[in-house]
Amino acid sequence: MFERAGDILKECRAVLSNHTGVGVPQCIYGDILDRCSPWLIEELRDVQERWKQKARNLLEGGATKSSAMHERGFFCWRACQIMLRDYDEETLPQPTGHCYRHEQECALARAPPANFSGMVGAIAGVNCFDWSALGKKEMWLGSSAIAFMCWARERYLARGHEAFCIVECVCNFDHEMLGDALSEWFVLHVLHISPALFGEAVDRRRKYMVLLSPSLRWHSSLAAFGVQGSFERLFARQASLRGVSRFRAPPEDIANHIALMAVRRGFPPSRPDGRPWSYFEAMSPSLQRRVREYEAKLLEEGFIGRGAPAIANLVQGPEFMAATFGSVPALLRRSTLWLFDQERCALGLEHLECQGYQIYDTDASDDFHCAFTPFLRTLPDSTLRRLAGNGMHLRAIGTALLFVTGCTIRAPPPDPRPSITANPPTHVLESDTACEEA
């Protein structure tokens, strides 16, 4: 059961409300900052600004940016103290947030019913921009830290009934600080997961931080190989396909996309000789130049240029990132993948397929098809690519969830006479994504 979900982006909330069956969240919230008192946010910003000033002083004293940010990363710890200070459940009303599904204030952190025998879990994607190699690298002193603190506060409010949390971020994310900040209620474990681990020719190495409450512990059989080792033994597969095989949009989808590009450039519906425009012809001159630069680079390195089974992200350029022959490079919000073998760019729906959505596989059973594909088709291509770049890989988060729910057991309660639950648990999920840049 999907209890609630939230996202700052309107289009993400629209996707959430177009889910079907058990995938429909009961409540859909927006910006996580709106769920926290403005005065608390203001106080956090003031404290963060003071830490930033200290970091600037360190930088002026000759420290590297990375070490200055780490030195003053204790903002995280101080912020947690502020967020939880004076919080009195007896006198403060239950926190609420604006719900876009019910168009009213709905309660956050609702406790499950008294007879509930399942497990409650929370899943979140932390804004990666302050941690990513391509981002600002401001870490805990970046603007995303405030949103993260609001999320941590909600974990505090839900303590006692959330059995686990899974938090995804880029590998640079400071999981030790996260573990320290929440150590009173959770024990942190870290998984490094890329779809390549499952045999997919897709590169997206991310950190999945698993927080277990005292009510859960890993099954003893994991002790021999550790958490990461056990995960890999269960799920690791050899890749058998190349990244270029992920791109299988039907000709009509590609033709429609080229037609839209041609209209945007003010071209007539077809070429003067009556033939349709090629993808390359409909591209902007700057992207055409970038394609030629990549082709020249491939030729220089001894490969064929045009027609090579390679992929390049045209946003970056060959001097910054080489074309790849094996895997699809990690998708970011503005990624524009040139497929040398098909002489076109990947479509937004194909970006989502790279993220684990089943859009084009007509042979797959209905259970594996993305049920809201008709809605996705109504969204602009740039929005689809943004959704794909912002999101978690479905197989990665799905497998992490399966691992956590399947390989943990109920920890004995503090009661001297522990009880054993015979029924397999059902799961209630809560999800928040506030990721703006991979």
Task: Tell me how far CA of residue 261 lies from CA of 166, 257, 279, 284, in angstroms.
Answer: 40, 6, 8, 9
DSSP string, 340-387: TTTTEEPPHHHHHHHTT--SS-TTS-GGGS-TTHHHHTTS-HHHHHHH
Shortest Å, Cβ 201 to Zn ion: 40
Separation CA 233–CA 198 (nearest Å):
11
Q: How many chain residues touch Zn ion (CB under 5 A)? A: 4
**Min CB(10)–Zn ion separation in Å:** 17
Query: Which is nearer to Zn ion, 106 or 124 (by Cβ)?
Result: 106
DSSP 8-state assignment for residue 197: G
Dist. CA 173–CA 140, nearest whole Å: 9
Residue 418 tokens, joined: 């522990």
Q: Which is nearer to Zn ion, 27 or 392 (CB)?
A: 27
Q: Which amino acid is at 305?
A: G
Give the footprint of Zn ion on residues 246-305 (CB under 5 A): none
| Three-class HEC string of 122-156 | EEEECCCCCCCCCCCCCHHHCCHHHHHHHHHHHHH
Nearer to Zn ion, 106 or 328 (CB): 106
Distance CA 154, CA 32 (A): 10
Please choose, from the candidates 351, 333, 355, the residue with its C-alpha nearest in 3D space to the C-alpha of residue 248: 351
Instruction: CB nearer to Zn ion: give 154 or 353.
Output: 154
Nearer to Zn ion, 99 or 209 (CB): 99
Helix (H) or strand (E) holding 52: helix 38-60
Instruction: State in angstroms the smallest separation of the CB of 29 from Zn ion.
Output: 8
Query: What are the percentages of helix, strand and coil residues in the chain, rounded to 5?
Result: 40, 15, 45
Smallest distance, Zn ion to C-beta of residue 425, A = 24
User: Which residue's CB is nearer to Zn ion, number 14 or number 106?
Assistant: 106
Residue indicated by tokens 């220089």:
300
In the complex, minimum distance from the CB of residue 101 to Zn ion, in angstroms, rounded to a whole number: 5
| Residue 426 CB-half CA count within 13 A | 9
Residues 84-113 touching Zn ion, rule: CB under 5 A, are: 99, 102, 106
Place of tokens 């001097």: 319
Smallest separation (angstroms) from Zn ion to the CB of 15: 17
Of 23-31, 46-54, 84-92, 274-282, the segment contacting Zn ion by CB under 5 A is 23-31
Q: What angle in degrees, to the nearest 10, is found between the helix axes of 75-84 and 38-60? A: 160
Q: Binding of Zn ion at residue 27 (CB under 5 A)?
A: yes
Nearer to Zn ion, 14 or 170 (CB): 14
Cβ count within 10 A of residue 219: 11
Which is closer to Zn ion, CB of 106 or CB of 354?
A: 106
**Could you tell me which stretch among 21-29, 139-147, 208-216, 225-233 binds Zn ion (CB under 5 A)?**
21-29
- Hey, what are 283's tokens? 């591209």
CB nearer to Zn ion: pick between 51 and 100 = 100
Closest approach of Zn ion to the CB of residue 50, in Å: 37
To Zn ion, the closest distance from the beta carbon of 121 in angstroms equals 19
- Taking the complex as a whole, how short is the minimal distance between the CB of residue 98 and Zn ion, in angstroms? 9
Q: Are 427 and 119 in contact (CB under 8 A)?
A: yes
CB of 405 to Zn ion, least distance (A): 25
Taking CB under 5 A as the binding criterion, the range among 25-33, 177-185, 290-298, 339-347 that sits at the site for Zn ion is 25-33
- The nearest distance, CB 5 to Zn ion, in angstroms, is 11
Decide: is 219 part of the binding site for Zn ion (CB under 5 A): no
Q: Residue 124 and residue 159: Cα distance in Å, rounded?
A: 16
For residue 200, CA distances in Å to 152, 193, 236, 344 come to 33, 12, 10, 22
Query: Least CB distance from residue 106 to Zn ion, whole Å?
Result: 3
- Identify the helix (H) or strand (E) that includes residue 18: none
Residue 171 CA to residue 132 CA, distance in Å, equals 8
Q: Does 8 bind Zn ion (CB under 5 A)?
A: no
Minimum CB distance to Zn ion smaller for 157 or for 259: 157
- Considering the complex, state which of residue 104 and residue 278 has its C-beta at the smaller distance from Zn ion: 104
In terms of CB distance, is 102 or 219 closer to Zn ion?
Answer: 102
In the complex, the residues that contact Zn ion under the rule CB under 5 A are 27, 99, 102, 106
